[in-house]
Amino acid sequence: MTVNGTPYISGGMTRTTGTQSRNTILSNIRRTNNAIMLLQEQLSTGRRLVRPSIDPVDANAVMKYESHIKNAEQFQRSSGRVLNKFNYAASVLENLTKVTNSAREIGLQQASDTSSAQTRSLAAQSVSELIQEAMDIANTMYEGKFIFGGSLANEAPFELSGNSVLYKGDAREIDMNISTTSSVPSNMPGTELFGALTAAIESNADLDANITYGGAFGAVTAGGASGQFIDTALIGKGQNVFEGLEATALTGANAGEKRVISGFNNVTGTVTFASAFTNNFAATDTYEIKGASTRLADLNNGDGVSAGSIEIFDGTRTIAIDLQTANTIADVVDRINGAFSAFGTISAGINAAGNGLLVDSTSGTLTIEETGGGRTASMLGIEKTVAAGGQKVGTDLDAQISLFTPLTLLNAGAGIDRSAGSGIRIVNGDQQKDIDVTGLYTVKDLVNAIEQTGINASAEVAQDGKGISVFSRLIGDRLKIEETGAGSTAQDLGILYTLDRAKLSDLNNGAGVDTSIEGNDFRVTLMSGSTIDIDINGAETVQDVIDIINNNSQNISLGSPLLAQVDPATGDKIQLLDTSADANSDFKVETLNGSLAAEDLGILQTIVNPPGADVSLTLTGRDLLRAGVEADSIFTSLIKLRKALEANDTGGIQNANANIEYVGDRDVLEGIAVIGSRASRLEMANTRSEEEAAQLDVLVSSLRDIDVAEAATAFQLEQIILQASLSAASRILQLNLINFL
């Protein structure tokens, strides 16, 4: 049949070939088989996410959670080992109590009048054995590592060195993270538990380092003088940027000579020296200006400078200066100068004092502002608006000292005495070494020179960044720092071991000063007849005693006629000055309450009042024989006891015994307390880690694991579907042409 010439085909019939039928049937069977295989795998493993492709989102979450769980398990294993080490260390420290008890028993026995030089000599040998036993405790190992050596755990930290104990470890604590924001030390340096490295002399004043732009290499473009040269390549570097640094002539007639720079002209590139070189400079002579630029992190007493940007307006234009990646003073100076180099209106450098920045304006009003609510300009000390043609002199940036700080920049740019023959003498026990500082330039040079003396002395920048600290590695010996010759190097560094900073226990060759009496120790009678009673209880240093005398309420009520000071002529005695009204009374110091303090301080004297009216009388004590600083350690106390026994010194035995009781109990109790505190924090962190891991494990299971009942039901259903599919396929695929006849 045709309609309008087109064959009629029924719309209700679709022709399907045998191949299509087979493919459809096989596809359905494969899908069902795959579903059954997946369910079989899930049921056999108990996991829904046997492959990430099943649920990528959940699989990614599971991977993250499992990573956290593994980290927690690793932390628990590590913290468990550290906890075991702490517990072992605490038990070891308890053994130290037995050593101190034995030493005290020996001291009590030998302090009696019945003891002889012979018995004390034998007892000294017993104390030597106790020192060895204490050292064995200090050299305790756990899992093949030494416990009390700081970060140096592969070598025994303590060893005998003559009559002293040498500490070869360090003070470094190795932190173990217990959260994203906190940590706990996982080791115990001998500095904490055995007083190692506590025989130290630290700068007693802020060495007040100036800032520096840094050094430069170059060649002279105009010479003709011995006290200065010109290098036009330095033009635009910044005013005063090289002042205080040291320049070395590399080639030319002055090759090898060094001089400190006293001035730098940013406009002409002229470098001027504090003292002239031997010969005139010639063009093409090469030089090096030595110095590392001050780090921004060292400014503001170590608080650094907030990263950010600043805006500078020169009266015509405003330019933003990006300082977010600036790390040094040179970075700041260069970026400001670079931003305005095309206009010549703004110049940055270092202020005349050398302690802050300088921003000069040659035309227009100078305005320096913050951007985006930052604090960069204020922390650089240059946030301000100044009049046209003015300059912003930056505030003191309070730079901390670093190993790279030039010695010439210390003490506000005055430097230290590096003249010929100047230096410092380090006395460590029976060893001493003179250090010539004339060839030293940076703090690191000085530290290295001290480290290389070979007398077990070390040095470092003080923790507050304001000075340096020199310390002894010997326990049981004393450390002193003196000048060599007539120089002032040690004084300039603030490490000269002067009488005012000496501990009372260091006086009289280490015999100390009696501070045991309750109440007043001595009475001072003035030439006016007035008396002042002094109680030195609580004083630790000679300066403390001086302050107690000068600030005594009786002294103040009388108008402070009594002045105590260190003898300015010798520096090794206490001097008392009486300026009261002369009433013919002798100026004298008398003991009270049986105290030996005045005698020990060398001021138990009487100055006879001469005839006639006197403006003042002076009482100068005896040499106090300051012995030097010593380590505050149980080893020191044991060594003192041994020395006193060997010297048959009853008073020394009594003093050493009292010190052993105090230091021994303190070291053991404080040591166990420190260990206990750290162990407690670790245990809390461990418990928290276990709880977090358990919670994460629940989350992982909810995302990763299979619902067995649901999977079994689905598995059974898929099997039924497979059976039905196979049955239907067998009937369909068996059809042939005869079936249609």
Question: How confident is the model at residue 14, as a pLDDT?
Answer: 54
Residue 713: what pLDDT?
A: 81
Split at pLDDT 50, 70, 90, the class of 3 is very low
Rounded to an integer, the average pLDDT of 367-373 is 90
Residue 472 structural domain: 407-497
Contact 339, 319 (CB under 8 A): yes
Average pLDDT over residues 494-514: 92
Interval 63-77 mean pLDDT? 79
Residue 419 CB partners (closer than 8 Å, separation 6+): 438, 487
Give pLDDT, residue 389: 67
Distances (CA, A) of 542 to 472, 494, 538: 22, 17, 12
Number of domains within the chain: 6
How far apart CA 507 and CA 513 sit, in angstroms, is 7
Give pLDDT, residue 441: 95
| pLDDT (tens digit per residue) in 640-665 | 999 999 999 998 898 888 888 888 77
Q: Looking at residues 539-552, what average pLDDT do you find?
A: 97
Average pLDDT score over residue span 207-229: 94
Could you please report the per-residue DSSP string of 326-369? --BHHHHHHHHHHHHTTTT-EEEEE-TTSSSEEEEESSS-EEEE
Task: Please state, in angstroms and rounded to a whole number, the distance separating the CA atoms of residues 84 and 361.
Answer: 66
Q: Measure the CA–CA gap between 256 and 286, rounded to whole angstroms.
A: 11
Residue 129 lies in a domain: yes
Distance CA 127, CA 119 (A): 12
For strands 357-361 and 258-265, give the pairing: unpaired
How many other CB atoms sit within 10 Å of the CB of residue 155?
11
When pLDDT is averaged across residues 209-231 and rounded to a whole number, the result is 94
- pLDDT computed for residue 470 by the predictor: 97
Is 506 among the domain residues?
Answer: no
Contact of 555 with 579, CB cutoff 8 Å: no
- Does one domain contain both 442 and 384? no
Task: Say what the pLDDT of residue 335 is.
Answer: 96
Clarify whether residues 591 and 669 are in a common domain: no
Clarify whether residues 93 and 194 are in a common domain: yes
Q: Average of pLDDT values for 287-313? A: 95
* pLDDT at 30 (0 to 100): 77
Give the residue from 626, 654, 675 where a domain finishes. Answer: 626
Q: How confident is the model at residue 161 (pLDDT cuts 50, 70, 90)?
A: very high
pLDDT at 465 over 60: yes
Q: How far is CA 467 from CA 201, 209, 301, 407, 442, in A?
A: 11, 9, 12, 11, 13
Together in a domain, 416 and 480: yes
Q: According to the model, what pLDDT value does residue 2 have?
A: 46
Is pLDDT at 17 greater than 70 in this prediction?
no
174 lies in some domain: yes
Do 527 and 609 fall within a single domain?
yes
| Mean pLDDT, residues 482-503 | 93
Mean pLDDT of 372-395: 87
**Same domain as 170, residue 104:** yes
Q: Do both 76 and 187 map to the same domain? A: yes
Domain contains 10: no
The confidence band for 76, taking pLDDT boundaries of 50, 70 and 90, is confident
327: in domain: yes
Looking at the DSSP assignment, which residues form a beta bridge with residue 366?
386
Span 507-532, average pLDDT:
93
**pLDDT-derived band at 67, boundaries 50, 70, 90:** confident
The Cα 106–Cα 101 span in angstroms is 9
Which pair of structure tokens corresponds to residue 163?
């009559």
Sequence-ordered strand ranges (E) for 526-622: 531-534, 562-566, 574-578, 587-591, 606-607, 617-620
Among residues 370, 393, 416, the one where a domain terminates is: 393
CB 636 within 8 A of CB 475: yes
Q: Which residue has the higher pLDDT, 193 or 637?
A: 637
Question: Is residue 371 over pLDDT 80?
Answer: yes
Tens-digit pLDDT profile for residues 103-145 = 999 999 999 888 899 999 999 999 999 999 999 999 999 989 9
Could you give the percent of the chain with pLDDT greater than 90? 62
Q: Vertex 167, ends 165 and 169: CA angle to 5°?
A: 160
Strands in 513-646 per DSSP E: 522-525, 531-534, 562-566, 574-578, 587-591, 606-607, 617-620, 629-630
Q: 721 φ, ψ to 5°?
A: -60, -40
Distances 51 to 42, 48, 54, 57, 643 between C-alpha atoms, Å:
10, 8, 6, 12, 76
Distance CA(480)–CA(470), nearest Å, equals: 10
| Phi and psi torsions of 538, nearest 5° | 95, -15
Cβ atoms of 470 and 495 within 8 Å: the answer is yes
- 672 versus 339: the higher-pLDDT residue is 339
**Which pLDDT score is estimated for 564?**
98
Cα-based distances in Å from 340 to 344, 392, 527, 602, 606: 6, 16, 72, 67, 74
Beta-carbon contacts of residue 439 (< 8 Å; ≥ 6 apart): 445
Q: Is residue 436 very low, low, confident or very high in pLDDT (cuts 50, 70, 90)? A: very high
Q: Report the C-alpha gap between 550 and 539 in whole angstroms.
A: 13
Q: How confident is the model at residue 738 (pLDDT cuts 50, 70, 90)?
A: low
| 282 and 303 fall within a common domain | no
The answer to whether residue 149 sits within a structural domain is yes
Average pLDDT for the chain: 88
The answer on 232 and 140 residing in a single domain is no
What's the mean pLDDT in 375-382?
95
In whole angstroms, how far apart are CA 136 and each of 129, 198, 565, 572? Answer: 11, 20, 46, 40
Task: Read off the CATH number of the domain in which 139 is found.
Answer: 1.20.1330.10
Average pLDDT over residues 201-215: 95
| Sign, CA torsion 125/128/134/136 | negative
User: Is 105 in the same domain as 154?
Assistant: yes
> For 41-50, 190-199, 285-294, 398-407, which range has the lowest pLDDT when averaged over its residues?
41-50
Residue 654 placed within a domain: yes
Shared-domain flag, residues 78 and 194: yes
Q: Is 310 or 51 the better-scoring residue by pLDDT? A: 310
Is residue 372 scored above 90 in pLDDT?
no
**pLDDT given for residue 1 in this prediction:** 45
Residues 538 and 573 in one domain: yes
DSSP 150-178: TT--SS-SEEEETTEEEE-S-----EEES
- Inform me whether the pLDDT recorded for 607 exceeds 50: yes
Residue-wise pLDDT for 566-594, tens only, equals 999 999 999 999 999 999 999 999 999 99
Single-letter residue type at 480 = K
Residue at 619 is within a domain: yes
Q: What is the pLDDT of residue 733?
A: 64
Q: Are 321 and 339 in contact (CB under 8 A)?
A: yes
pLDDT given at position 689 = 78
With a pLDDT cut of 70, the percent of the chain lying above it is 92
End position of a domain, from candidates 462, 497, 532: 497
